[in-house]
Amino acid sequence: MVIRTPTKICSDPSGAARGRTEFLARNSWLGILGSDFLGSLGREREALAAVIDRELPTSEAADLLDLVRDLVQRELAPRADKAEASGIFPREVFAQLGELGLLSLPYPERYGGGGQPAVVYLQVLEELARGWATVALGISVHVLACSGVAEFGTAEQQDRFLSEMLDGSTLGAYCLSEAHAGSDAGAMRTLAVRDGDEYVISGDKAWITHGPVADFYLLAARTGDDRSHGISTFLLPHGRPGLTAGTPERKMGFRGSVTSQVHLDRVRIGADRRIGYEGQGFRIALSALDAGRLGISACAVGLAQAALDAAAAYAAVRIAFRRSIDEFQGVSFLLADAATQIAAARQLYLYAARRKDAGKPFSTEAAMAKLIATDMAMKVTTDMVQVLGAAGYVEDHPVERYMREAKVLQIVEGTNQIQRMVIARSLKQAPRRLA
């Protein structure tokens, strides 16, 4: 990826390239891409297995998705297999994406964000997941870690912290879960004790994405005895004495995404870094998870689309009984079902996103989207391994990795059993018309 100053953008005779150049010039939050990148737009389109016909609110959003798609094709997808096999966290990739403004798309421009609606941000995530799910997941987690300050911070906290959190140079982690308090977040034991103008925090967090590499942590800790109203939220910078990360977990999938415990041994933090009022932490966590579930939904759809792309391409050239195997119903129906399920899941997460953008309640719809999209991704990736047969079971083809990665999406940001609980509880509340 080549990053240039605005004076380095070259002209291009095609209207499409001129439009993209103008888009970049107008939107400093996205950064400036080099002439070699811009000149290649459109020429590698044929290398993509499928270009999704997307519904986007503006022509600028369409330009953004075009840029992301080409970025994925040129820079991310070719590196994914080797990087995931090595298990090395691609920090330099996040730094490059940060320079392009892709780590802060849904946040206000006044703080350095992209000012993009959820329907655009989530489709960017989907395209990224299609090429390298670790990167899309990492961006989703970072965006979630910024949400506490953006949504519940005071004006002073937003002015003080958000610009650095959103400028692309830092990476966040979200610390809610503990070994004994995953789905039951109210059982957390990490304790924050007030000591004058500070809090002293002690405890252990588990399953923390970016644990060893984060620059800041949005952390929930107990400040009172009440299960839900006794939890508060804090913004902790990396390097604070007593704050350490454990050994990275050895995971089934997403091996390029580093996950660990985070240990807090009498970590002192100023009361000015408490986000929201004392006891508001559970509400902040639930709000963050609603948005985070949409991010996971988009990642799941992108991952499933990648699996379908790979399987469809393989089935078109694999010959059996003197015909390509996609001519057999047993294979073509698997591909058709996958395409249908992916399209349905995409529309559900976009429906929830439109509600969010309109300021309507979307918690139930986010749970529905996360449930449907991640269950779909698990089924589709498994079926696409079946399309490849024995070839799908070996690392020569990426579908086995997609299947391993899909599994955890049914677990993170609330297991799918928790999503069903959220949905079932909503049915007992006063009915509201779906619109």
Pairing mode, if any, of strands 323-324 and 259-270? Answer: unpaired
Instruction: Give 47's contacts (C-beta < 8 A, 6+ positions apart).
Output: 73
CA distance 187 to 417: 18
Whole-number Å distance between alpha carbons of 280 and 318 = 57
Instruction: Check: CB of residue 380 under 8 Å from CB of residue 341.
Output: yes
* Closest to 117 (Cα-Cα) out of 358, 390, 374, 366: 358
CA distances from 58 to 64, 119, 127, 128, 150 (A): 10, 11, 18, 20, 25
Of 99, 127, 405, 413, catalytic:
413
Report whether 76 contacts 133 (CB < 8 A): no
Could you confirm whether 60 is annotated as catalytic? no
- Assigned token pair, 158: 């937003």
* Residue 143 phi, psi (nearest 5): -60, -40
Q: How far apart are CA 82 and CA 205, in angstroms?
A: 30
Instruction: Kindly state the tokens that stand for 426.
Output: 């909503």
Type of residue numbered 132: W
Residues 6+ apart with CB under 8 A from 356: 118, 291, 294, 362, 366
Angle separating helix axes 416-428 and 363-388, nearest 10 degrees: 140
The beta strands (E) that lie in 144-292 are given as 172-175, 191-195, 198-209, 216-222, 231-237, 243-245, 259-270, 274-275
Phi, psi of 54 (to 5 degrees): -95, 150
* Alpha helices (runs of H) in 113-172, residue ranges in sequence order: 118-131, 133-152, 155-157, 163-166
In contact, 248 and 194? CB cutoff 8 Å: no
C-alpha Rg value of the chain to the nearest Å: 22
Which sequence positions are flagged as catalytic? 413
